[in-house]
Amino acid sequence: MHCPFCRHTDSRVVDSRTSDDGAQIRRRRQCPDCGRRFTTIETAGLTVLKRSGASEPFSRAKVLAGVRKACQGRPVTEDQLAVLAQRVEEGVRAAGNAEVDAHEVGMAILGPLRELDEVAYLRFASVYQAFESLEDFESAITLLRAEREAAAPDGRPDRIPAP
């Protein structure tokens, strides 16, 4: 851990404390060069690597913002969105990596969103997978329909009407 004051490349831990809920460790550190002290907080992190090469901590709020946009005007409640964001986070964490590509987060959103609302799913997929033409929509809808028919072969009414 670099010293935040003089950028010295090393520091010494002088005290460690685990928070009451066990989710954090606070460490008091001292720089051997300038002698100043600083605190670091350690949590089990999940870092998202963006296509630009930048990285940022995983944020449920960001997942929610993207999904909420896709759900505009759809019969989807805030509670359902919160559950979806939680499922996305659990899905991403279940892979067991401390770092994930933004792409993997997007992929983790698609499944639960499709179960929640197929129109919102198509909107999200069209942006996320960069649909460029009507044909891209058509093939996504064809796939949705085929998978739904496979799941319900008795021909129950669809949520997307057949043409």
Could you give the CA distance from residue 102 to residue 112 in angstroms, rounded to a whole number? Answer: 17
Nearest CB to Zn ion, comparing residues 33 and 89: 33
Quick check: helix, strand or coil at residue 115?
Answer: helix
CB of 24 to Zn ion, least distance (A): 24
Could you give the CA distance from residue 151 to residue 143 in angstroms, rounded to a whole number? Answer: 12
Could you give the CA distance from residue 103 to residue 51 in angstroms, rounded to a whole number? Answer: 8
Footprint on this chain of Zn ion (rule: CB under 5 A): 3, 5-6, 8, 31, 33-34
Nearest CB to Zn ion, comparing residues 12 and 60: 12
CB of 5 to Zn ion, least distance (A): 5
Q: Is 72 in contact with 64 (CB distance < 8 Å)?
A: no
Nearest CB to Zn ion, comparing residues 37 and 114: 37
Nearest CB to Zn ion, comparing residues 8 and 93: 8
CB of 43 to Zn ion, least distance (A): 24
- The partner residues of 43 in beta bridges, in order of sequence, read none
Nearest CB to Zn ion, comparing residues 33 and 149: 33
CB of 35 to Zn ion, least distance (A): 7
47-49 vs 99-101, strand pairing mode:
parallel
Could you give the CA distance from residue 74 to residue 55 in angstroms, rounded to a whole number? Answer: 32
Rg of the chain over all Cα atoms, to the nearest angstrom: 22
CB of 80 to Zn ion, least distance (A): 49
